[in-house]
Amino acid sequence: MGTRIEIDQLVKVFGSGQAAARAVDGIGLTIEPGELFFLLGPSGCGKTTLLRMIAGFIDPSEGSIAFDGRDVTHAPPNKRNTGMVFQSYALWPHMTVAQNVAFGLNVRKVSGAERDTLVEEALAAVQMEQYAERKPTQLSGGQQQRVALARAIVIKPDVLLLDEPLSNLDAKLRNDLRHQIRNICKASGITTVYVTHDQKEALSMADRVALLRDGKVVQLGTPRELYRQPESKFVAEFLGETNLIQAATDGTGTLRVEAGAFEATPISQDQSKSKHILISVRPEATSLTPAGESGSLPGKLLDTTYLGETAQHLVEVKGCPLIKVAEMNPFGSSSRVHPEPGDTVGVRFDPGEVVPISAD
Ligand code: ATP
């Protein structure tokens, strides 16, 4: 079940001469059968162009795309059996929910009882059976997007393509729908490619993520790999808050900044040979300690933002940019220190969470 998508050296150039822009610049990827695969990246990185080349709406300039070994690089959309869900839902306003979902089946000449059963099944998969006779205008945004999803999966596509499907919805609904969409995709076994610029969406839903920048894949991996082992500054920062620190190494896994020394277990022998390295430490892998505690760096607390379940502290540490420390359950009984702005504190980096990265 599910289709393998092989993308090889894919390029899309828009325009020509001086104005030519390489929107997709030599991308190679294999998306496994049944995988929920995310294309993530900032505006203009080429993710929509790549998705549209997989759908057949944009003709590639170079390279190839194959579905289960069948070359579809220049095949028109209707020869690929893909289902597509857009940000704008794109439902027919004059048709009922059931008629909207049946549309693709009518085009494929599926009729009668078979069509009705398939429509019912698709609406049940997105929990919209009871709305079958409503018009799209009588539905909320989230419900409309579930209908759009039912319409895409009812034709049993080889590949499901989703282009920022949750961007028009409010934060709470987006959260609810993330789980639902993931469950529907995984239950159907359809290979799914999902485009978003929202890193939380990608981290919470994806089997694997390709992070794009300037038409290229900068890192590919599971959500945990990308978040926990970013290879570059760009990846570390795109996926969340982090502390980027330039530190000196002495070849033993101990790093040094002006304020003092700290341990960093993932530093390899190779990296230890260079004199300075750039590291990333997430705020949640950083904690406040009483001043002067061994293994912590001396610093001054500048500011605390209290958010209820967490607090974000900003600490001045000599030789570092302002250090962000995230504390869970702040001022709770397990909190080791309750400093006020201006107090001297210690800052401790969890030694296993100090990740060496490249500067680009
Ligand atoms: P967004 O999140 O803003 O939609 P994106 O990552 O999906 O961004 P694309 O829409 O793929 O980015 O665009 C990639 C680059 O190609 C951009 O610089 C864009 O301006 C350019 N581009 C896209 N479509 C065309 C076109 N039809 N003609 C010329 N340039 C285009």
Do 245 and 229 lie in a common domain? Answer: no
State the pLDDT confidence band at 271, using cuts at 50, 70 and 90.
Answer: low
196 lines ligand 1 (CB under 6 A): no
The per-residue pLDDT for range 73-120, each reduced to its tens digit, is 999 998 999 999 998 888 999 999 999 999 989 988 998 899 999 999
Alpha-carbon 298 to chain mean position: 35
Q: What does the chain come to in residues?
A: 360
Output the CA 321–ligand 1 centroid distance in Å: 34
CATH code for the domain in which residue 317 is found: 2.40.50.140
Do 341 and 306 lie in a common domain? Answer: yes
Where is the domain boundary, 233, 268, 303?
233
Residue 266: predicted pLDDT: 67
Do 147 and 225 lie in a common domain? Answer: yes
Do 19 and 123 lie in a common domain? Answer: yes
Do 279 and 166 lie in a common domain? Answer: no
Residue 337: predicted pLDDT: 86
Is pLDDT of 151 > 90?
A: yes
Output the CA 48–ligand 1 centroid distance in Å: 7
Place of tokens 């790093």: 255
Containing domain of residue 200, as a range?
5-233
Do 103 and 224 lie in a common domain? Answer: yes
Amino acid at 180: Q
Strand locations in 175-322 (E) = 191-196, 208-213, 216-221, 243-249, 254-257, 260-263, 276-281, 286-289, 297-306, 310-316
Strands 159-163 and 191-196: parallel
State the pLDDT confidence band at 331, using cuts at 50, 70 and 90.
Answer: confident
Is pLDDT of 178 > 70?
A: yes
Pocket test for ligand 1, best of 10, 13, 14, 54 (most atoms within 8 A of CB): 14
The arithmetic mean of pLDDT across residues 241-268, rounded, is 88
Give the least confident one: 65-79, 128-142, 264-278.
264-278
Number of domains the chain is built from: 2
pTM for this prediction: 0.92
Mean pLDDT of the chain: 93
Amino acid at 53: M
Burial class (CB in 10 A: 0-12, 13-18, 19+), 27: buried
41 lines ligand 1 (CB under 6 A): yes
Residue 251: predicted pLDDT: 72
Do 184 and 331 lie in a common domain? Answer: no
